[in-house]
Amino acid sequence: MTLLELDSVTASYGPVQVLDGVSLTVPEGGSVGILGANGAGKTTTLRAISGTVRTGGRIRFAGRDIRGRRPDQVAALGIAHVPEGRGTLAQLSVRENLLVGAYMRKDRKKISADIEYCLDLFPQLRERIGSRAAALSGGEQQMLAVGRAFMAKPKLLLLDEASLGLAPGTARSVYEAIRRLRVESGIAMLVVEQNANLAFTLVDTATVLETGRSVLTGTSAELKGMDEIRRAYLGG
Ligand code: ATP
């Protein structure tokens, strides 16, 4: 069943229109990538969903029209956004950041077990549990940002450039953990990632954006087999 559907979505920053017809769907429990050059509108597509940019068109989530809702309302419906640049709370500890992620939950009793799960998924965070987020490495901050989003127990995770600024080995281990999270939790994911090789380890299908429009959608295998996709996003 479809969890998220964008149909002809437009978005603008003030007078500047940057999305001009983005359509894509994420099935329940599915994982979908957004590919595209710098400035194609990938980040803005995630912002359109989470309600931080003015949008037109249609955005449906779990059977509801969510276009135009405030970010806190979108989050309450079960969408967690891990923004580019991570967005952890620098002065709070790892444990406090994870607890902040859970603040809207009603099932308070399960929170400790979910923190344990995060620390099992990202063992480096266990060692840094009392450290302020500001003192973590880039990779650890990314892990914390994903862990914090998981703590909200969302139905859908929006993940923006989780590999940005990380050493290749660190980026791979972050993606491996996210993949495990996906398999074990069934949380659906919409993934923006410059590094298409990494994206394809996590997503089943992807949509290619060009100047604010979706121009192509295919399975990971189909897209990897296309010359122009290989040239543009896979390094040859
Ligand atoms: P990147 O990988 O470089 O982040 P992207 O595909 O995610 O690219 P967006 O960040 O969505 O692209 O940006 C799409 C367009 O909107 C770009 O031309 C960008 O310059 C412009 N833009 C982004 N944020 C703003 C803003 N706050 N105000 C005005 N224009 C913006």
Tell me if 13 CB under 6 Å of ligand 1.
yes
Contact 206, 32 (CB under 8 A): yes
Q: Is 44 in the pocket of ligand 1 (CB under 6 A)?
A: yes
- 41 with 22: CB under 8 angstroms? yes
Q: What is the pLDDT of residues 164-191, one digit of tens each?
A: 999 999 999 999 999 999 999 999 999 9
Residue 16 near ligand 1, beta carbon < 6 Å: yes
- Between strands 16-27 and 31-36, the pairing is unpaired
CA distance 31 to 167: 24
Q: How confident is the model at residue 236 (pLDDT cuts 50, 70, 90)?
A: low
**ipTM for the assembly:** 0.94
Give CA 93 to chain center in angstroms.
22
Pocket test for ligand 1, best of 19, 35, 43, 195 (most atoms within 8 A of CB): 43
Tokens coding 67: 């276009």
Atom 26 of ligand 1, residue of closest alpha carbon = 13
Q: Kindly report, residue by residue over 36-55, the tens digit of the pLDDT.
A: 989 999 999 999 999 999 99
Ligand 1 centroid to 150 CA: how many Å?
26
Instruction: Enumerate the β-bridge partners of residue 65.
Output: 60
C-beta separation of 206 from 220 below 8 A: yes
Could you tell me if 15 and 207 are in contact, meaning their C-beta atoms sit under 8 angstroms apart?
Answer: no
Q: Candidates 44, 54, 191, 208: which one to mutate for ligand 1, based on the most atoms within 8 Å of Cβ?
A: 44
d(CA 54, CA 114): 34
CA-closest residue to ligand 1 atom 10: 43
- Residue having the nearest C-alpha atom to atom 31 of ligand 1: 13
pLDDT attached to residue 147: 97
Find out whether 129 and 97 touch, Cβ atoms under 8 Å.
Answer: no
Question: CA torsion, points 78, 100, 158, 137, in degrees to nearest 10?
Answer: -160
CA–CA dist 164, 171 (Å, integer):
8
